[in-house]
Amino acid sequence: MSQQPANKEDIVSSGDSGTSSQEVVSAGQTIEAVDVLGADGNLGAVDPAAVAADNTNKTPVIPVQNSTAPPVSGGAAAAAGKPTAAQEKSEKKGGIVGLIREVVELIVVTVFLLIVIRWAFAEARYIPSSSMEPTLQIEDRLLVEKLSGHLGKPIRRGDILVFYPPPSEMGGKDLSNDPLTVLGRLTGLPFLPYEPAFIKRVVGLPGDKIRVQRDVGVFINEQLLDEPYFKERPNYDLNTLADIGGKGVGGSSMRPFADSKEPIIVPAGQLFMMGDNRNNSEDSHVWGFLDQQRVIGRACLLFWRWLEPPKYPRSIEIFE
């Protein structure tokens, strides 16, 4: 059978019982001859014009699919209509699990942000004692910034620092490595264990020679320090390391340098800290020098203070 190439072909399977081949009609093509298998089993020639006319008169038959849906079982129908008890239980369990997951994610993100902010930028503190009066009052709220320390800004004389006291002041106990205590130290959350922090003013820097004279003031390298901020002049003398001592937080007496007659010279990496309320402050004149690694940050902003009316003599109240 000889045919010319075509650009497009329509392939239709024949439905005649006597035909075992397929009729291939190329669109727009002139067919020379088509060999078909007749009913008697002999091949015969068919007129191309008759084949074309016969194909033109045929109406294409499109198979119709059965639109009747297969029967639905009772269980499937129930599932399609109302959720079963198992499905409701599964959905309820999935909702609870999703809620718990969201709460956990919220807590984790909050704690992470809290740690980053407190470690890198700042944290809030309040004043529990009168050791820094008159500069800071009891129950004052202030902001302690830490960014300058991370950026390498040096500590200066007169800075007000928040720090963890030396172990000698805490009865020999250093900072705890307990996980909950560490988490409390990092987050500041009130329901977690915490370690006390002090707030004092920097008086002596590394290399400074310190001397305190009763009713006069503090001498730095034999020069009287100008301190307009203190509440009253000290009622004690400090001339040598042996003079450093007093009662610590627990009320026990301490003398960190025993009977040393060496002058008080601030070692490298250490600070000499004092409260502005010189006669009511547990500071370096009691426990000695402070390691700079224990500094938390600088007090930079006082943002809350209760204002109370002054207390007048009772005689005035009676007179009124």
Q: Known catalytic residue: 200?
A: yes
**Token pair of 185, please?**
């130290």
Domain shared by 227 and 140, yes or no: yes
Domain, as residue range, for 167:
121-304
**What percentage of the chain's residues is helix, strand, coil (to nearest 5)?**
30, 25, 50
Evaluate whether residue 103 is within a structural domain. no
Q: Are 266 and 289 in contact (CB under 8 A)?
A: yes
Q: Which of 14, 90, 200, 311 is catalytic?
A: 200
Mean pLDDT of the chain: 79
Domain shared by 263 and 181, yes or no: yes
Is residue 1's pLDDT more than 50?
A: no
**Helical H segments across 58-159, by residue range:** 74-81, 85-120, 147-150
CA angle 304, 301, 147 (to 5 degrees): 140
Evaluate whether residue 88 is within a structural domain. no
Q: Which of 73, 130, 131, 153 is catalytic?
A: 131
pLDDT digits (tens, 9 = 90+) for 274-300: 999 999 999 999 999 999 999 999 999
pLDDT value at residue 172: 82
pLDDT digits (tens, 9 = 90+) for 103-142: 999 999 999 999 999 999 999 999 999 999 999 999 999 9
pLDDT digits (tens, 9 = 90+) for 178-234: 999 999 999 999 899 989 999 999 999 999 999 999 999 999 999 999 999 999 999
**Helical H segments across the chain, by residue range:** 48-57, 74-81, 85-120, 147-150, 179-187, 284-287, 314-319
pLDDT digits (tens, 9 = 90+) for 17-47: 343 333 444 444 444 444 444 444 444 445 5
Domain count along the chain: 2
Domain shared by 138 and 238, yes or no: yes
**Token pair of 306, please?**
């209760």
Is residue 12's pLDDT more than 80?
A: no
Q: How far apart are CA 248 and CA 217, in angstroms?
A: 22
pLDDT digits (tens, 9 = 90+) for 237-280: 999 999 999 987 777 788 999 889 999 999 999 999 999 999 99
Is residue 15's pLDDT more than 50?
A: no
Is residue 100's pLDDT more than 50?
A: yes
Domain shared by 51 and 128, yes or no: no
Q: Known catalytic residue: 253?
A: no
Question: Could you give the 3-state DSSP secondary structure of residue 20?
Answer: coil
H-helix or E-strand spanning residue 36: strand 34-37
- Any idea what the CATH number is for the domain that residue 192 is in? 2.10.109.10
